[in-house]
Amino acid sequence: MFNDASTEEIELAMNEAWAAFHVYRKLPLAKRAEFMKTIAFELENCGDALIHTAMSETNLPEARLRGERGRTIFQLNSYAVACEKGDWLGASIDTAIADKVPPKPDIRKMLVPLGPVVIFGASNFPFAYSTAGGDTASAFAAGCSVVIKAHPAHIRTSQMVAGAILLAAEKCNMPKGIFAHIHGASFETGKALVTHPHTKAVGFTGSYTGGKQLFDWGNQRKEPIPVFAEMGSINPVFLLPEKLKNAAAEIAQLYAGSITLGVGQFCTNPGLIIGIESEALQIFINELGKTIQKITPAPMLNPGIAGAYVKNKANALLQEDVHLIAASEIVSKENDGLPAIATATGQTFLNNPVLHQEVFGPYSIVIRCKNMAEMIEVAKHLEGQLTATLMATDADITDNDELVESVKNICGRFILNNVPTGVEVCLSMHHGGPFPSCTDSRFTSVGADGIKRFARPIAFQNWSNHLLPDELKNENPLGIWRTVNNELTRSVV
Amino acid sequence: MFNDASTEEIELAMNEAWAAFHVYRKLPLAKRAEFMKTIAFELENCGDALIHTAMSETNLPEARLRGERGRTIFQLNSYAVACEKGDWLGASIDTAIADKVPPKPDIRKMLVPLGPVVIFGASNFPFAYSTAGGDTASAFAAGCSVVIKAHPAHIRTSQMVAGAILLAAEKCNMPKGIFAHIHGASFETGKALVTHPHTKAVGFTGSYTGGKQLFDWGNQRKEPIPVFAEMGSINPVFLLPEKLKNAAAEIAQLYAGSITLGVGQFCTNPGLIIGIESEALQIFINELGKTIQKITPAPMLNPGIAGAYVKNKANALLQEDVHLIAASEIVSKENDGLPAIATATGQTFLNNPVLHQEVFGPYSIVIRCKNMAEMIEVAKHLEGQLTATLMATDADITDNDELVESVKNICGRFILNNVPTGVEVCLSMHHGGPFPSCTDSRFTSVGADGIKRFARPIAFQNWSNHLLPDELKNENPLGIWRTVNNELTRSVV
């Protein structure tokens, strides 16, 4: 239906993105915010047609897609507000001290955009992490132009969203090239975009294989560029002894829901649950198994993902000393993701790296540790994670400092007595984590701080006040927060 | 005098650094600050012996070294104050909204340290960018343990500074392994340190070749790590027409001083001066030449650097259509860096990438452009720079927007009517810039924001107030600035 972009089309898109960047980056924050809010409006304006197109391409239910579009609109609007508010700019002013030896010059700093950003959307979020998703909103807020590589799994949805963005660009008189939508199912299209000299940053949400490849291409360029790839994780959940004893059945209910939410197709899906051998753990396992058996299978995003789930789950279950606890017993249709729970001992998990890998879908493995020492051992041997969760009483926390600290050290979001699924869009959210959950643990792809991925500081030295950007002028015409001689303030200088 | 560290010594240092990290990262900010201030005290306490050792190893004059030690002490003390003040933590709190659908959990975010940091010091700053320099201070402030690869060009100085750090560590009851000092002139030592699994970040100041190699090693690891390498640049200076006409001779005087300051051995040395063919430019060139002829050569850091300067300068001067304007006519001794100025046309510069490369030493080339269009062309073809400078009147700025914006787009620090040499240590400083001046333009190696290179955000979800770190508790016991529900405040929640 859509052909892969030709080399000439990619060249044109990147050249126009480069030209547009030099116009767009100079526009006031308020103009960027207006553009983002207009995109949000146009997305809403796409009406039911957009929802129905996404339903037909992704198998996701209507309510979920309406919710996800709402979330995407909220992201665009809230990052627009953050963009204009300007806290993210890190504006800082050190005034001159003429009688210092040597004299201290006037120095003022703020963030400026990196340049055109190439974005690869996710298959599992056709709106929120795709064409007009969080990466696009972050890049526009930063002052960058955007080139999207459309995800082949929801290409008509992507095309409609791109249309909404282009309409918003027209309404807001944005420069030609501020946004481009590139088709390409092939390896070559992605490579051409990441390695193009005008590309100055990359955003990606998806698999480890895909993200790591983009990261490597980005670093191997003559001029390396930052590639922020969120590559998912297995999101370990630690069941601490007192809490488990108090609430084994309730936790099992809670997690049966989290494991199977959205057919397990979230990067924050809890794929690993760790407990200590005990009567309580057995109650938890039994209850989780019973609940999973009664969960109705639902279709996965597409046959490719459904096929990969069957294959990866089978491979996990084939590993030595891994046992199936339960699977859904409700009749399933082709391409449904059948919920399933397995179990293994701590030693089995520690010895087999295959069990550390994500199985994308409604699957989780319960690890039975001999004792707390082995649970700590498991925590210390885990790779970087987007999230990690403790199910714990206060006493569990205070009595097990080594475990708590070990878990904290490997995750980007640290959850207590809650589930990892559900990523709230707010400034305090961190969606990222140590490698391999993402390629740079210092940045987030959810929340307005995600803007900082696509911006760099510049310091102005010895500039006259009237020649400075408004953000740094003495009189603070934008009324933003700034650090003036080491003190945060909104006052004039 | 010192042997390269053995594989066993490196293994031991990294294992101890890893163990120390897990103790140190939990210490309160005030304890980190106390440790840093004690290092500063011990550096001062090294007295004249340290200065004399550095003089014997670097050829740098006493006054310069005393000044540089003062700067290093200032860095340690001021980053200690910043560490304790906590603005850099980016603490952020979003309180729960129970009646939202779905309910919004309580989420709170702050920076936590990455892990052990390996630091490679610079040859040209035996104190400020070496063993106890800005990278070390930043890493300690972030909560990381530090392993230094001693620079072979000032190894006894490094050893003495390491002694001061270890003494401070002892006085402050720091965990064993908080700091290690590794000798190694070989390629292998550096590679072993960067690729060690316990190494979680790298700081470097030096050449492009060295920094790029560390960057590649860091990215090629199974678990890639951030390598911040500041690799220098040629720091272009643009002479705009009206300003040049008004002040050609004064600018020449100013820049003769900047080019030869510290025998040109600064990463911010102005190695490229760009003007437009005119009578004023000829006056500038003549005056600069005359002044350079009278500058007394001084010894460079060591025979290796002096030899490289002779070779690289000769190579630059051998390029087609490059002409020597003047060189110092004062008699020089072995290992002196002889100041010299060359010239070429805009076209010659545009066509020859060799002329874009740094010649480390008191050398600069004056590029004579046909007109403003060619000057803009030069600006657009420059690689990323630590600094760029405009010598310009207000009218020059307002009349030449394309030039100003093109220059701004390639530099980390943008200077007006001043010299790039002299890097003020303050929060608003940015020392970094687009590649190849450094490996990640989003971070700085000077100023307290350099701490952020070695820290990552973590979000706490649904934690009870009393279990949270002090930085995120409702009552704000540390009195730090935090963003609470999108508003910056020091108030309690």
The verdict on B262 touching A (C-beta cutoff 8 Å) is no
CB-closest option in B104, B224, B467 to A435? B224
The verdict on B98 touching A (C-beta cutoff 8 Å) is no
Is residue A437 pLDDT above 70, yes or no? yes
Model-level pTM? 0.97
Cis check: omega of the bond before A241, within 30 degrees of 0: no
Is residue B468 pLDDT above 70, yes or no? yes
Q: Which two tokens stand for residue A198?
A: 């005008």
Which B-chain residues 281-300 have CB contacts (< 8 A) with chain A? none
**Inter-residue contact A69 to A102 (CB < 8 Å):** no
Query: Quick check: A427 and B112 CB within 8 A?
Result: no
Once rounded to an integer, what is the mean pLDDT over residues A429-442? 98
Q: Residues of chain B with pLDDT > 70: what percent?
A: 100
Instruction: Output the CA torsion sign for B422, B425, B430, B431.
Output: positive
Q: Which two tokens stand for residue A448?
A: 């307005």
Is residue B1 pLDDT above 70, yes or no? no
pLDDT for B413 equals 98
* Most B-contacting residue of A386, A391, A399, A442 (CB-CB within 10 A), to test interface: A442
Instruction: Name the minimum distance, in Å, from the CA of A43 to any CA of chain B.
Output: 21
pLDDT for A1 equals 63
More confident of the two residues B123 and A173: A173
pLDDT for B2 equals 78
pLDDT digits over B483-492, tens only? 999 999 999 9
Instruction: Output the CA torsion sign for B239, B245, B248, B250.
Output: negative
pLDDT digits over A304-360, tens only? 999 999 999 999 999 999 999 999 999 999 999 999 999 999 999 999 999 999 999
Once rounded to an integer, what is the mean pLDDT over residues B44-54? 97
pLDDT digits over B413-454, tens only? 999 999 999 999 999 999 999 999 999 999 999 999 999 999
Give the Cα separation of A11 and A8 in Å (integer): 5
pLDDT for B186 equals 86
Is residue A414 pLDDT above 80, yes or no? yes
pLDDT for B3 equals 84
One-letter amino acid at A321 equals: D
Quote the mean pLDDT of chain B.
97
Once rounded to an integer, what is the mean pLDDT over residues A9-33? 97
* Most B-contacting residue of A18, A117, A428 (CB-CB within 10 A), to test interface: A428
Is residue A137 pLDDT above 90, yes or no? yes
Is residue B321 pLDDT above 70, yes or no? yes
Give the Cα separation of B325 and B365 in Å (integer): 9
Instruction: Name the minimum distance, in Å, from the CA of A68 to any CA of chain B.
Output: 13
Chain B residues inside the 8 Å CB shell of A461: 413-416, 418
Coil, helix or strand for A228?
strand
Query: Which of these, B188, B198, B189, B193, lies nearest to B223 by C-alpha position?
Result: B198
pLDDT digits over B246-281, tens only? 999 999 999 999 999 999 999 999 999 999 999 999
Residue ranges of chain B that CATH labels 3.40.605.10: 7-231+440-458+466-472
- With b meaning 16 or more CB within 10 Å and e meaning fewer, what string describes A10-30? beebbebbbbbbbebbebebe
Residues of B labelled as active-site residues: 230, 267
pLDDT for A440 equals 98
Query: Which of these, B406, B363, B348, B364, lies nearest to B273 by C-alpha position?
Result: B364
**Inter-residue contact A230 to A445 (CB < 8 Å):** yes
Give the Cα separation of A390 and A10 in Å (integer): 47
Is residue A185 pLDDT above 90, yes or no? no
**Inter-residue contact A88 to A138 (CB < 8 Å):** no
Query: Quick check: B428 and A459 CB within 8 A?
Result: yes
H-helix or E-strand containing B64?
Answer: helix B62-85
Query: Concatenated DSSP letters for B284-334?
Result: HHHHHHHHHHTSPPEE-SSHHHHHHHHHHHHHHHHSTT-EEEEE--S---T
Query: Quick check: B455 and A442 CB within 8 A?
Result: yes
pLDDT for B83 equals 98
Is residue A20 pLDDT above 80, yes or no? yes
Which B-chain residues 200-229 have CB contacts (< 8 A) with chain A? 215-216, 219, 223-226
Query: Quick check: B107 and A426 CB within 8 A?
Result: yes
Q: A20: Cβ–Cβ under 8 A, 6 or more apart, which residues? A: A116, A145, A174, A175, A176, A177, A178
Is residue B155 pLDDT above 80, yes or no? yes
Give the Cα separation of A268 and B119 in Å (integer): 35
Q: How far are the Cα atoms of A96, A230, A373 from residue A195, in angstroms, in the given order?
A: 42, 19, 47
pLDDT digits over B60-99, tens only? 999 999 999 999 999 999 999 999 999 999 999 999 999 9
Instruction: Name the minimum distance, in Å, from the CA of B69 to any CA of chain A.
Output: 15
Query: Quick check: B408 and A458 CB within 8 A?
Result: yes
Chain B residues inside the 8 Å CB shell of A379: none
Fold of the B7-231+440-458+466-472 domain: Aldehyde Dehydrogenase; Chain A, domain 1 (3.40.605)
At the top level of CATH, which class does the domain B236-416 belong to?
alpha beta
Chain B residues inside the 8 Å CB shell of A444: 457
With CA atoms as reference, the chain A residue closest to B406 would be A22
Q: Which two tokens stand for residue B367?
A: 């590029």
Chain A residues inside the 8 Å CB shell of B108: 428
Chain A residues inside the 8 Å CB shell of B87: 483, 488
Query: Quick check: A458 and B413 CB within 8 A?
Result: yes
Q: Where are the alpha helices (DSSP H) in A182-302?
A: 187-194, 208-220, 241-260, 279-293
Residue ranges of chain B that CATH labels 3.40.309.10: 236-416
Q: Where are the alpha helices (DSSP H) in A228-296?
A: 241-260, 279-293
If pLDDT is split at 50, 70 and 90, which confidence band does A102 have? confident
Give the Cα separation of B371 and A365 in Å (integer): 70
Coil, helix or strand for A29?
helix
The verdict on B457 touching A (C-beta cutoff 8 Å) is yes
Q: Which two tokens stand for residue B284?
A: 């500038």
DSSP state at residue A290: H
Going through B240-295 in order, the beta strands assigned E by DSSP cover: 272-276
Q: How far are the Cα atoms of A149, A366, B24, B281 from residue A136, in angstroms, in the given order?
A: 11, 37, 38, 46
Give the Cα separation of B291 and B254 in Å (integer): 10
- Residue A445 β-bridge partners: none
Q: Residues of chain A with pLDDT > 70: what percent?
A: 100
Q: Which two tokens stand for residue A79?
A: 């990052």
Q: Which two tokens stand for residue A63?
A: 């309510």
